[in-house]
């Protein structure tokens, strides 16, 4: 297994602009910084809506979940800080292993998960 998480960044325009971070590789304590850095850069460049495309994530640990939680906190608007679900972060196309982790740990109650990227884009 590779110890590198690759993050490809693109912008898609739908009803609202969405920045897509396409992840490839493991998301764990060794690689979470790659994701957090890419997300921080995108937010710093004006991204308000982010989609994590996770079809090629080979493994995700609790450190990966912490990174996703940190991104959610950065995206939350002050007028929505008490919301249960994130208005600005979506998960698209997670692998079966990643989907199971989200569901088992209850993250699917806080972040909308979509089977494909187009549905995630259209949700904004």
Which CATH number covers residue 115? 3.30.750.24
Domain encompassing residue 49: 6-122
Q: What is the dihedral of CA 75, 78, 84, 88, to 10 degrees?
A: -30
Residues 52 and 90: their CA atoms lie apart, in Å, by 6
| Residue 43 pLDDT greater than 60, yes or no | yes
* Residue 1 counted as domain residue: no
* pLDDT score at 54: 97
Through-space distance between the first and last CA atoms of the chain, rounded to whole angstroms:
34
In the three-class reduction of DSSP (H, G, I as helix; E, B as strand; rest coil), residue 17 is classed as strand
| Residue 1 pLDDT greater than 60, yes or no | no
- On whether the CB atoms of residues 92 and 53 are closer than 8 A, the answer is yes
CB atoms within 10 A of CB 92: 24
Number of domains within the chain: 1
Q: Give the pLDDT confidence of 59-105 residue by residue, as tens digits.
A: 999 999 999 999 998 988 655 555 667 889 999 999 999 999 999 99
Q: What is the mean pLDDT of the chain?
A: 90
Nearest 5 degrees, angle CA 55-CA 86-CA 23? Answer: 20
**H/E segment holding residue 72:** helix 62-75
* pLDDT score at 65: 94
* Residue 49 counted as domain residue: yes
Q: Is the dihedral of CA 69, 108, 88, 64 positive or negative?
A: positive
* Residue 100 counted as domain residue: yes
């Amino acid at each position: 297994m590779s110890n590198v998480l690759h993050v490809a960044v693109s912008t898609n325009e739908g009803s609202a602009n969405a920045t897509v971070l396409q992840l490839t590789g493991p998301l764990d304590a060794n690689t979470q910084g790659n994701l957090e850095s890419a997300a921080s850069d995108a937010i710093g460049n004006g991204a308000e809506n982010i989609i994590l495309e996770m079809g090629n994530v080979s493994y995700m640990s609790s450190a990966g979940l912490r990174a996703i939680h940190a991104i959610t906190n950065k995206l939350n608007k002050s007028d929505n800080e008490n919301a249960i679900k994130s208005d600005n972060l979506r998960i698209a196309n997670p692998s079966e292993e990643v989907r199971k982790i989200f569901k088992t740990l209850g993250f699917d109650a806080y972040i909308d998960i979509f089977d494909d990227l187009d549905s995630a884009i259209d949700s904004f």
